Amino acid sequence: MSDDKFAKLSILLALSNSQAAEAFKPILRSHGIGRAVAVDSNVDALTTLKELNFNMLVVDDRFPNLGGFDFCRFIRLTNVNVSVAPIILGIHGPDQQSVLKARDVGASKIVAMPLTGQSLIKAVSGALAEMKPIVQSSA
C-alpha cells in the first residue's frame, strides 16, 4: 500500500479490549499511519469524533455500551464526514448471521477477532484497496 495513503489516515480504534487498542497505536504508526486514537466506550468515541477528524474506524462487535453493530449503524446514519469513512468491523466468532448483520449496518470490511498487529495492517490495507462508495439519503 502506498505510504502516502497510510500517512493521510486517521484511525479511530473502538475496541472492547482497550489494552489491545492501545497496543495497536504504535504498530499502526510504525507502518506509517498518520494518527491512531483509541477510545474506551461509545460515549468516549462520540466525544473524540467531535474533537478530531477521522477517515477510518476500527470497531469490534463487543464495543462497550451500544455494541459494535449499533455503533457502526449510528455512524452511517449521521451527517458528518466520518459517516462515509471505511469501517472495519471485527466479529468474535463470526457466523453467517453476524457477517450479514455487519454488512447491513455498513461495515466496509469484516474481520475475525481477535486481531493481531499483522491482521490489522492487512485489514487497513484491504479497506483502502477495496473502497466502496457509501450512499446517503437525506430522507
Summarised one tens digit per residue, pLDDT across range 107-122 is: 999 999 999 999 999 9
pTM for this model (two decimals): 0.92
Q: What is the DSSP string of 34-67?
A: SEEEEESSHHHHHHHHHHS--SEEEEETT-TTT-
* Cα gap 34→99, rounded to integer Å: 29
Distance CA 76, CA 100 (A): 16
Which domains, and CATH codes, for the chain? Answer: 3-127 (3.40.50.2300)
Compute the distance between CA of residue 96 and CA of residue 20 in angstroms, rounded to an integer.
26
pLDDT per position as a tens digit, 22-80: 999 999 999 999 999 999 999 999 999 999 999 999 999 999 988 999 999 999 999 88
